Amino acid sequence: MLDIAEELHRWVEQGRDFAVATVVAVGGSAPRQPGAALAVDSEGTAIGSVSGGCVEGAVYELCRQALEDGITHVERFGYSDDDAFAVGLTCGGVIDILVTPVRSADRTVREVFTAALGAAAVGEAAALARVVDGPAELMGRALLVHADGATEGGFGAHPELDRTVADEAAAYLDAGRTGTLGIGEQGSRCGAPLTLLVESSVPAPRMIVFGAIDFASALVRMGKFLGYRVTVCDARPVFATAARFPDADEIVVEWPHTYLERERDAGALDGRTVLCVLTHDAKFDVPLLRLALRLPVAYVGAMGSRRTHLDRNERLREVGVTELELARLRSPIGLDLGARTPEEVAVSIASQIVANRRGGSGLSLTGAHTPIHHEPGAARTIGSVA
């Protein structure tokens, strides 16, 4: 649901009632991941998507029904071998959808949703936990956890349940993860086991592009398209300008390794950060990569020919970079697409970043036997709580 927070927050501010359908769990070749959502207001306006088109019509009707009866429930959609025209996923996957009405009359629920949507809409880190499976009186209840540990809402069953869920949701938030959480009967303190969906909303991941060259401009646009907050860094003020990089969120004129060191010390880098080194100039590359390859970031790629790559590796070894650290370097940067133009090269680099993030092989899907959609992490279940 938090993936459409900006639009939903506007609906809340306008006083609209709406129902939101959120993907809870997927199996097989389902097109959308947990957290993807479709919302419908009382006028029939719809935003978002839960399946890429396969079951949108049926989910739309479920939202309309939820607005009428005020009931929160879960619906499963899968492929029907008996009837190819039945409502389901033609790709053969299975998705579970949580449908929740958010109405002005339900003040407790609406207040928590309003707070969650408001935080997500302005890029604040927060995690929203909702009951997916459990006693009927808990369905629709929600607990919001902020980055500082503050909470809003709750399940109304037992204070210990709220504390348990808050601790677990905080862990999901730290990892920037969305998924399901199981709590045993003793731990739930409500006489039955519970399954909850925990949605994390975190600030956009960072892409830092070093080297204000023509290829960088295309990569900045691609990074923005993929949802990154993009910084361009170059020591040469004549090249690192807003006129050349109008799509960048930030332009920094500074020696690359100095800037990266400062960002590291400020805690501005995390496990989702991608670093793209396009300078292919040893005086910039060597001190920068020496630092970058020792940081716990998601991706480090460097542009250059194979000859440049081999020469750069030797220079890095000379300044103490280990073979294990060198193994993290994606160089020459990008996947083999035969790319030539800056735009094509940007697609090549972006494809490698996505494959690295999602666990893809980078091979052609045609004729391959690898999954099209890679499975997210398994649901977590915690035992009883003393």
Q: What local confidence, expressed as pLDDT, does residue 54 receive?
A: 72
pLDDT of residue 87 exceeding 60, the answer is no
190-200: pLDDT as tens digits:
878 899 999 99
206-358 CATH = 3.40.50.720
Q: Where are the domains of the chain?
A: 1-102, 106-203, 206-358
Instruction: Give the residue from 125, 166, 93, 117 showing the smallest Cα distance to 1.
Output: 117
Parallel, antiparallel or unpaired: strands 229-234 and 206-210: parallel
Q: What local confidence, expressed as pLDDT, does residue 386 receive?
A: 33
- Give residue 375's pLDDT band: very low, low, confident or very high (50, 70, 90): low
Place of tokens 């909303």: 201
Q: What local confidence, expressed as pLDDT, does residue 379 receive?
A: 60
133: phi > 0 → left, psi -120 to 50 → alpha, else beta; which? beta
pTM of the model: 0.73
* CB contact at 8 A, 9 and 90: no
Place of tokens 């677990």: 168
The fraction of the chain above a pLDDT of 90, given in percent, is: 69
Q: What local confidence, expressed as pLDDT, does residue 234 receive?
A: 97
Mean of the pLDDT values across residues 303-328? Answer: 95
For residue 301, the cross-strand partners are: 276, 330
Least confident of 80-94, 189-203, 244-258: 80-94
Parallel, antiparallel or unpaired: strands 94-102 and 18-27: antiparallel
* CB contact at 8 A, 24 and 180: yes
- Give residue 204's pLDDT band: very low, low, confident or very high (50, 70, 90): confident
- What number of other Cβ atoms are within 10 A of residue 294's Cβ? 15
Cα 350 from Cα 253, distance rounded (Å): 24
Residue scoring higher pLDDT (222 or 88): 222
34-72: pLDDT as tens digits:
899 999 999 999 999 987 667 889 999 999 999 999 999
Radius of gyration of the chain from Cα atoms?
23
pLDDT of residue 306 exceeding 60, the answer is yes
Q: What are phi and psi of 273, to 5 degrees?
A: -70, 135
Burial class of residue 14 (count of CB atoms within 10 Å of its CB; 0-12, 13-18, 19+)? exposed
Burial call 163-183: b when 16+ CB within 10 Å, e when fewer: ebbbebbbebbeebbbbbbbb
266-282: pLDDT as tens digits:
999 998 999 999 998 88
Instruction: Give the residue from 99, 57, 100, 54 showing the smallest Cα distance to 78.
Output: 54
Which one-letter DSSP state was computed for residue 119? H
Parallel, antiparallel or unpaired: strands 274-277 and 206-210: parallel
Cα 154 from Cα 141, distance rounded (Å): 7
Parallel, antiparallel or unpaired: strands 179-183 and 380-382: parallel
- Give residue 363's pLDDT band: very low, low, confident or very high (50, 70, 90): confident
Helix and strand totals (H; E) in the chain: 11, 17
pLDDT of residue 310 exceeding 60, the answer is yes
Q: What are phi and psi of 194, to 5 degrees?
A: -125, 150
